[in-house]
Amino acid sequence: MTKVKSLLPYLLAILCLAAGGYHLFETLSTFKLSDVTNEMVSTWEVHMKVVQAAIPSNVFVASYLENADIPNSNSKYDEAEFFLVQYGVAPVALKRGFGEEWIIGNFGNTVSLKTIKPWLDQKLGKYTIQDLGFGLYVIHDIKD
């Protein structure tokens, strides 16, 4: 009995190593190099660099618009995309809706500029808009 008991710590260690090793093997077997290169946040970061460059460096607060803000849109607010944009454009703090001089529009590829233009015309009056691709726009509300 004593001999069996003396082996218990080794058994525990080997059992844990087997379980840990098995989990690692499973993780490795699902690992794809394409997942690394196409990783979601890194992909967004590429687009966010373009957005950042389109906003003057002395701007620290901007408005954020997305599909859910468009009148009669069926889209729901996408929290993940909001945080991805916020992460990308920091130190510019984002506020949802209109209100700031600089506005980041994240409308995705399904919405065309033609669709949103009447809505922006009505809300903003005089403004400039830069189409940055990937459904991203930087809008400058030119206050008279």
Which stretches of the chain bind another protein, using CB under 8 A? 2, 5-6, 8-10, 12-17, 19-24, 27-28, 31, 35-36, 39, 41-42, 45, 60-61, 80, 82-84, 86-87, 90-96
Q: Which residues, other chains included, contact 51 with Cβ-Cβ below 8 Å and sequence gap of 6+?
A: 85, 88, 89, 104, 132, 136, 138
As measured in angstroms, the least distance from the Cβ of 11 to another protein is 9
Q: Which is nearer to another protein, 6 or 110 (CB)?
A: 6
Closest CA to 134 of 51, 39, 76, 55: 51
As measured in angstroms, the least distance from the Cβ of 82 to another protein is 7
Distance, CA of 74 to CA of 4 (rounded, Å): 67
Q: Which is nearer to another protein, 21 or 118 (CB)?
A: 21
As measured in angstroms, the least distance from the Cβ of 117 to another protein is 26
Give the helix ranges, DSSP H, for the chain. Answer: 2-29, 33-37, 40-54, 79-89, 113-124
**CA separation (Å) from 97 to 12, 58, 87?**
57, 21, 18
Q: Which is nearer to another protein, 39 or 121 (CB)?
A: 39
As measured in angstroms, the least distance from the Cβ of 29 to another protein is 11
Q: Which is nearer to another protein, 71 or 80 (CB)?
A: 80
